[in-house]
Structure 1
Amino acid sequence: MTRPPVMSLRGITHSFGAVRALIDVDLDVSAHEVVAVVGDNGAGKSTLVGVMAGALVPDAGEVVVDGREVRLSSPGLARQLGIATVFQDLALCEDLDVVENLFLGQELRRGPVLDEVAMEREALRLLAQLSARVTSVRGPVSGLSGGQRQAVAVARALLGEPRVLVLDEPTAALGITQTAEVLNLVERVRDRGYGVVLVSQNMADVQAVADRVVVLRRGRVNGDFDAETASYEDIIAAITGIAPTRRRGGVS
């Protein structure tokens, strides 16, 4: 049984001056699903992230959340509507500890004072849900590995129980072990019922966790593939615009 989309983009178009970054883009995201968005440099991936995050208002098209058309006019409104985004730079404060980073700007209070106990308890709960290996939530973020930082950024995004989580190049510049940690994190988020949009240029990562693969090429959707049945060659062909070469059986 196909689940109805939690979020749908229809006919999304956005330009920067004379440059058309997105042209009539459609995208559906359902609960318990990882949708990978792939494409070459300049394909429109970052612009699409900006639209979903509420940082960019498209020139045309509509965004539908839970069957209702909405206007994502700001990141705050996107969060209120259940769309959380973790950008590639993570936006963590190096000199603050894990709890302070998670609740920065959305601190819990008991009367006039900060409720440090409640925030620490919630931080531990979120990180435990993600099976994140963080030694201490009171240690500075500067002492964490790349994979641990990604876990903190994802935990912060999950505050308030969003419906859709957008991850912008979450494994960029990470080593093999840290990349594996982040991909496991993506799977755990999906298994907890979230819709996940994974924006990546790493096809190995995409094939490891994606349920569907949406290809952007020159601002347009150039393919929407079932990750289980699509071949690597077909996805690469959609990215590059070059038809795959099929090898015949027998002598090569």
Structure 2
Amino acid sequence: MTKTGAATVLSLRGISKSFGAVAALADVDLDVGEGEVVAIVGDNGAGKSTLVKVLAGVHPPDSGVIEFEGREVRLESPTQVHALGIATVFQDLALCENLDVKANLFLGREIRPFLLDDVAMEKRSWELLRQLSAKIPTLSVPVAALSGGQRQTVAIARSLLGDPKVILLDEPTAALGVAQTAEVLNLVERLRDKGLGVVMISHNMEDVRAVADRVAVLRLGRNNGVFDARTVSTEDIIAAITGAADNAVSRRASRAADSEPRTAEGSEAR
């Protein structure tokens, strides 16, 4: 289920992925709607990174069905996935620090009818950065001179080349300061305002509560709850992440079973 009124743009059903004897994902379901931010949370080893790599085309799933804009698709390579309309910003950003902003935005996708079209690339670069209200003063500044938040902005702006419908963000605020984190969260909201579906992997509950519409919890490679971010408590999310919620259900079931009247032979009384 997506948030109320949002058309589903990406849907996963029964996605499984194993590496040898290790099941990284088992029967995972996920829906992402247009103009919706879905946060995926979970402990280390929960399967978050594997799920992102499946969606990015790095690891094709072993089984399951993926639908994009209502039709079944196979995500077989990063190039094919990007052409389909799903863009990924990994945690390491994959930026070249010795190159300037414009060169990073068009790295591998340069506009060149014959020679490099610097004018067209500069125009498109400013269009992308203005869409995100980016605080970058010039396109000629080397990425090495940018702050963490500005680098994340460049990586997100680069992902918008090709007009994707879904953006995957892997820990976008990791290792950022307070001001830089706020800057990145504003970018996430702008992506949602543009009508994009956003999948955000995060371990920071404050960030999740700040921008997510729904929170999907993975535990040991499986779904362990999908919550409305506006109404769920942080305690309930953490309980789903750690398995405390499952333990509470088990304890209630055990107490209910223990309270059933028994006959002398140990069978339930009728």
TM-score, scaled relative to structure 1: 0.95
Q: Distance in 1 between matches of 2:76 and 2:188?
A: 27
Q: Distance in 2 between matches of 1:2 and 1:60?
A: 29
Q: Distance in 2 between matches of 1:218 and 1:2?
A: 31
The answer to whether 1:124 aligns with 2:163 is: no
Q: Distance in 2 between matches of 1:158 and 1:78?
A: 13
User: Which is higher, the Rg of structure 1 or of structure 2?
Assistant: 2
Matches within 5 A, 1:58-69: 58-69=61-72
Q: Distance in 2 between matches of 1:2 and 1:136?
A: 39
Amino acid at match of 1:81: L
- SS of structure 2 residue aligned to 1:114: coil
- SS of structure 2 residue aligned to 1:2: coil
Structure 1 unmatched ranges of 5 or more: 246-252
The answer to whether 1:4 aligns with 2:4 is: no
Amino acid at match of 1:88: Q
Note the aligned Cα RMSD (angstroms): 1.1
Q: CA deviation at 1:25?
A: 0.3
The answer to whether 1:103 aligns with 2:85 is: no
- SS of structure 2 residue aligned to 1:78: helix
Aligned to 2:82: 79
- SS of structure 1 residue aligned to 2:218: strand
Aligned to 2:221: 219
The answer to whether 1:88 aligns with 2:91 is: yes
Q: Deviations over 1:65-111 (max 9, x none)?
A: 011111100001100110000000000001011100000111112x3
Aligned to 1:188: 190
Count of aligned pairs between the two proteins: 244
Q: Distance in 1 between matches of 2:59 and 2:227?
A: 26
Structure 2 unmatched ranges of 5 or more: 249-270
Q: Distance in 2 between matches of 1:150 and 1:112?
A: 31
Q: Distance in 1 between matches of 2:104 and 2:111?
A: 13
> Which range moved further: 213-222 or 3-12?
3-12
Aligned to 1:28: 31
Aligned to 2:21: 18
Aligned to 2:167: 165
Q: Distance in 2 between matches of 1:238 and 1:223?
A: 7
Q: Contact conserved, 2:89 with 2:170, CA < 8 A, in 1?
A: yes
Q: Distance in 2 between matches of 1:87 and 1:102?
A: 15
Amino acid at match of 2:195: G
Q: Deviations over 1:23-47 (max 9, x none)?
A: 0000000111000000000000000
Q: CA deviation at 1:139?
A: 1.0
Q: Distance in 1 between matches of 2:229 and 2:194?
A: 20
Aligned to 2:234: 232
Q: Distance in 2 between matches of 1:9 and 1:85?
A: 17
Aligned to 2:200: 198
Amino acid at match of 1:12: I
Q: Distance in 2 between matches of 1:61 and 1:139?
A: 45
Q: Deviations over 1:135-180 (max 9, x none)?
A: 1111110000000000000000000100000000000000111000
Q: Contact conserved, 2:6 with 2:35, CA < 8 A, in 1?
A: no
Amino acid at match of 1:181: E
Q: CA deviation at 1:2?
A: 2.3
Q: CA deviation at 1:183?
A: 0.3
Q: CA deviation at 1:4?
A: 2.4
Aligned to 1:138: 140
Q: Distance in 1 between matches of 2:180 and 2:169?
A: 16
Aligned to 1:51: 54
Q: Which runs of 4+ in 1 moved over 2 A?
A: 1-4
Aligned to 2:149: 147
